[in-house]
Amino acid sequence: MGYCPLSFFAVLDTLLWLSFASSNNASEAYYRRNVFYAGGEYTFVPSTNSTISINQIYVEQLTPLYGKKRRYPIVFFHGGGVSGTQWLNKPDGGRGWASYMLDEGYEVYIVDQWSVGRSSKTNLDAAALSPGSSVETAQIAFTAPELYNNYYQARFHTQWPGNGTRGDPVFDAFYATSLPLSLGPLFQNISRTSTCALLQKIGPSIFVSHSYGGQGVFLATDGCPDLVKGHVAFEADQTPFGNYDAGTRGASSPIVTRAWGVADVPITYDPPVSDPTQLVRATVGQNQYTDGKLSNYSCVLQAQNATQRPRRLVNIARAPVLFLTTQASIHVLYDHCLVSYLRQAGVKVMFTLLEDVGILGNGHFGMLERNSDDIAGYIDRWIRRTIR
């Protein structure tokens, strides 16, 4: 029986490549990779008398080498000041959540949000860039909050690999991924439009977001609800009407922002809202302290009483949400506010404090910590139970 020499050498080359890959990075899943851009438009620039493309976002498509087994893909949405690389590898060299989900049979899409990384903005005068986190902020808020003890739960942080400070190789690898980003209404509107353009290309999908990335997913769900099958919000940073992030440095009150509840731009409510002042607000609860340290924030929600009923987020409510909060992040002090806001607006939210399901010691970047696979497994089980 004859054979085709080209086919033989192609197979041999593949086997040699797999052997090399296995010996150098055995923990990573095998996949086929494609890249493309979603959204965007042409615009004329008078100052240069030329036309450019703006507002597109970079997307990596990773397909399991032996074929996808799950009906809907996962779209990963990174947080502020980093890029989609946070889903690929961990700074200690371990495999990231992309590989975990590929091994479970999901097709995976990884986005760089507009203005960040390979989605860097080409309309240079629009939405000035803000720096990512400083070294000091990264240590205090993400990698070593236990060393600063600015809020009660910080002492429970144990899962970061290494000591979490400048000079430690894992911290240095993590901090090298920091990038500037744009914030505010322009970013949010572009994010909604470009993400819906992505979904129109790839079809209905499940989102996994982190921190600031949660806002992009909520806006996309508002803009194209038929294409969002579910949202895993890992410490989504959209506390209604205010930003509590300064709690990592001991602040006891929020910075007023997000006039539309979870965004600075219009979203769909029922009854309709034409001006955000129509969202009647009420403060619920009060700050709490444990051993002299702040341990819980009060919330600003929609007013709810005999004469005032909360308005519903009718589009966002069409996708179920799994909201995850870690044991030792500053988010454990205030994530309940966003969960309460979503629930009173009709969104079906499963709120899980990871310590309640035996996943202990994590901070804000739990997907990069030692026990990240435990969190990924919990996410996968929720998807299997909830999304059909």
Residue 246 to residue 248: CA distance in whole angstroms: 5
For residue 108, give the nearest of 100, 120, 116 by alpha carbon.
100
Is residue 36 classed as helix, strand or coil in its secondary structure? strand
Q: Which two tokens stand for residue 232?
A: 């895993």
Residue 269 to residue 140: CA distance in whole angstroms: 37
Q: Which two tokens stand for residue 197?
A: 């353009």
For residue 199, give the nearest of 191, 210, 188 by alpha carbon.
191
Task: Find the DSSP H helices in the chain.
Answer: 5-24, 97-103, 135-138, 169-175, 185-202, 213-223, 335-344, 372-386
3-state secondary structure 261-325: CCCCCCCCCECCCCCHHHCCEEEECCCEEECCEEEECCEEEECCCCCCCCCECCCHHHCCEEEEE
Instruction: Report the DSSP pairing between strands 228-234 and 205-210.
Output: parallel
Residues with a known catalytic role: 211
Sign of the CA dihedral running 59, 207, 196, 235 = negative
